[in-house]
């Protein structure tokens, strides 16, 4: 499985929820924000997206839900299967839009390292 946003993974599924019309926005809730880390819970209804963004800090994502997230990056579109509790790490500089490709809510916690 490719890391989300890493490119070279599976193509986004054709029936992606929210693919037509305007997407709902994923909902971030900052839980901790200090001089060492920022911890944010992200909630996505089916088809919701973060919107295009750049990560200026290294980060760890811990999925709380199992499912598929679509990723749009400059080098194309991919999808990744994430498993609840199976974390992954990415270095700063990643630019992408993350989309919930499931028919159910998807939730993860993002820990940004300062």
Mean pLDDT of 27-31: 98
Whether the pLDDT of residue 111 is over 50: the answer is yes
How would DSSP label each residue in the chain?
Answer: -PPTT-SSSBPPPTT-TT-SSPPPBPEEEEEEESSSEEEEEEEE-TT-B--SEE--SEEEEEESS-EEEEEEETTEEEEEEE-TT--EEE-TT-EEEEEE-SSS-EEEEEEEE-
Percent of the chain with pLDDT over 90: 80
**Which residue from 71, 54, 69 is spatially nearest to 7, judged by alpha carbons?**
71
Domain ranges of the chain: 27-113
Q: What is the pLDDT of residues 40-94, one digit of tens each?
A: 999 999 999 999 999 999 999 999 999 999 999 999 999 999 999 999 999 999 9
Whether the pLDDT of residue 2 is over 90: the answer is no
27-113 CATH fold: Jelly Rolls (2.60.120)
**Which residue from 19, 23, 30 is spatially nearest to 79, judged by alpha carbons?**
19
């Amino acid at each position: 499985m490719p890391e989300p946003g890493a490119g070279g993974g599976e193509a986004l599924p054709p029936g992606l929820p929210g693919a037509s019309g305007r997407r709902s926005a994923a909902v971030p809730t900052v839980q901790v924000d200090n001089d060492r880390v920022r911890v944010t819970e992200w909630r996505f209804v089916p088809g919701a997206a973060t919107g295009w963004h750049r990560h200026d800090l290294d980060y760890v994502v811990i999925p709380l839900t199992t499912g598929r997230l679509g990723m749009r990056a400059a080098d194309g579109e991919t999808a990744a299967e994430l498993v609840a509790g199976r974390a992954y790490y990415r270095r700063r500089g990643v630019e992408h839009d993350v989309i919930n490709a499931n028919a159910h809510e998807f939730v993860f916690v993002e820990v940004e390292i300062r």
